[in-house]
Structure 1
Amino acid sequence: MKLYVKYMVSLRCKLMVKHELEKLGLHYISVELGMIEIREDISESQKQELKSNLAVSGLELLDDKKSILVDKIKNVIIEMIHYSDEVPKVNYSDYIAEKLDYDYTYLSNLFSEVKGITIQHFIIQHKIERAKELILYNQLNLTEIAYKLHYSSVSHLSNQFKKVTGHTPTFYKKIGQKRKSNLENM
């Protein structure tokens, strides 16, 4: 049986979900971002208990099909940007449509209807968040970050970064270094 969980976007969330399943005596086959597969059918009382236990941690068990599909779209994007080192060989729309086995236009319209933003805007937001992480880690230069995040150039990354954050990547890096040195001097 498959269950879908909203806001499950990190490894910490996966560990917490596994713990909750074990507390209920449920045996999981897999726990992925946004999805749980368990061996047995879940009773209504177990489902309600799982739902309330997950809610304490800010997670939500999904029931309606539109929300489940939108959450799957979000998880494909998050996994692609935050957890995959490989750049997709095709454009994002083809990648998402192929992963979910739906027409991209349908997915795009549904996502916009439910979330109030486009898939493209959601991707840009996450690419910029990932760029912020990589800038602060200070292990890659901007050219490498631009390549890793599938930008055509450093200037394209810089322009989107400034549009989303209000700052250039270089300024953001300086702020991060200043904050780090302030913490070290305490």
Structure 2
Amino acid sequence: AEVLRKDRFVEDTLMTVLNLEGSGEKHEACHARATMAIANLTATVPALDGCPGGSQAVLSTIVKILGFALDGKKWAGIFFAPYSVLYPMGNLARASEENADMLAKAKAIPKVVRVLKEWKDGRLAARSLTLALDIIMALTSMPDHQQELRAVGAVKTLRLPPPRARGGTPSPNR
């Protein structure tokens, strides 16, 4: 895997996908999935000058996909798990303030806070929660986004006691 990453084989192959012309949901999903794969490997947003709207448009699509994933709905014929969208978003947010800022501009904050508000114990849930917290932590260091974090209830949600203390059922894994 390291050789593929070092030689940029996978990234170059995915860039070919990102340079394909087209339109519609399936085309947007293809661009988003390729961008998420690159983010998973490199924690970078590829330069997407050939895509309408560029990198920001693709990040907006990724955030839209997170919304569908949280609703349990398919988009462009694909069911996405929240974890599979949060993972590349977390990589991007942790990698640089510029990436975190682009995610915030793509309207990621309300959806990421929603992950905290609706968190339930289950498969990959703890990892999804950790990724959402990583994204929020990256954004809290940026004054431009602190007000939005407050407005959508991030601070209030983080102050709540864990589900067990609120009367929720304890997980056998805790």
Whether these two folds match at TM > 0.5 is no
Kindly name which structure, 1 or 2, has the bigger radius of gyration based on alpha carbons.
1
Structure with the higher strand share, 1 or 2:
1
